[in-house]
Amino acid sequence: MANSWYRYASPASFHPVALRLAPVFALAAAILAIAGLYVGFVVAPTDATQGEAYRIIYVHVPTAWMAMFVYLVMAFWSALALGFNTRLSAMMAQALAPTGAIMAALALWTGAFWGRPTWGTYWAWDARMTSTLILLFLYFGVMALRGAIDDPRRADRACAILTLVGAVNVPIIYFSVRWWNTLHQGASVSLTAAPTMAKTMLAGMLLMTFAAWAWCIAAALWRVCAIVVERERGASWLAPDPALKGVT
């Protein structure tokens, strides 16, 4: 029934579900990360040209993908929040911003420590790196904008608009290595062509990507729970919540 969809659009009914799901995703992230690190460090061979330095790929690519993907998910929730004026969608967008910022920062950081041994520099004003830096600033901007507006519902709308405008940056990051001559290499994995890397390397990278994905979901769910409690406090539904009893 259409009605059951709306049920979980309410913070009151979503909160217990999110609270139960978050540890499941966190556990999945831990298991996937252990498997990914095992495949990446033990099973996968040393790269012929880059030696052991290439092993940074197992954290660099997942964090870079997640930095972009989390932004797209944030834009999706922002669009819903603007279109349907639903509180929970805006809370989801709010919950995703810090996790996305962490992923963007890690992508830049791990990229710097990969760039130094392979290209000879920690940083260059290359199109992909610059657009990823802008992505990090967009996350900061969305968080700062929310902090600057006292009324949460106004902040929801302002942040949603900024997020949607900033979404134009994501395809720029993705296609930057095709549109411009960049120091950064082109895509090594795509949906349309066979991967150009060894199977075990690819397996390790995908495991780590799913681990990062699961962690982003877990972190966003935990954060949205905190946000629901922060913003809905005073609401009567919170009072009998068993979660309130377990506070220490």
Partner 1 sequence: MNEFLAMGGYGWYVWMAYGACALAILAEALALRSRRRRALETALASGDAVSSGDRR
Residues at the contact surface with partner 1, assessed by CB under 8 A: 26, 41, 46, 51-53, 55-56, 59-60, 63, 87, 98-99, 102, 105-106, 109-110, 113-114, 116-117, 152-153, 215, 219, 222-223, 225-227, 229-239, 243-244, 247-248
Of the two residues 193 and 247, which places its CB atom closer to partner 1 in the complex?
Answer: 247
Instruction: Output the smallest distance, CB 70 to partner 1, in A.
Output: 13
User: How many Å apart are CA 111 and CA 113, to the nearest integer?
Assistant: 5
Instruction: Output the smallest distance, CB 68 to partner 1, in A.
Output: 17
Of 223, 196, 216, 220, residue with least CA distance to 32: 216
Instruction: Output the smallest distance, CB 245 to partner 1, in A.
Output: 9
CB 94 within 8 A of CB 227: yes
Q: Mutual orientation of helices 127-148 and 87-119 as an angle, nearest 10°?
A: 150
Of the two residues 118 and 188, which places its CB atom closer to partner 1 in the complex?
Answer: 118
Of the two residues 53 and 134, which places its CB atom closer to partner 1 in the complex?
Answer: 53
Of the two residues 20 and 230, which places its CB atom closer to partner 1 in the complex?
Answer: 230
Roughly how many angstroms between the first and final C-alpha of the chain, as a whole number?
Answer: 40
Reduce the DSSP state of residue 191 to 3 states and report it.
Answer: coil
* Structure tokens given for 169: 């940056």
- Rg for the chain (alpha carbons), in Å? 20
Instruction: Output the smallest distance, CB 148 to partner 1, in A.
Output: 15
Of the two residues 161 and 226, which places its CB atom closer to partner 1 in the complex?
Answer: 226
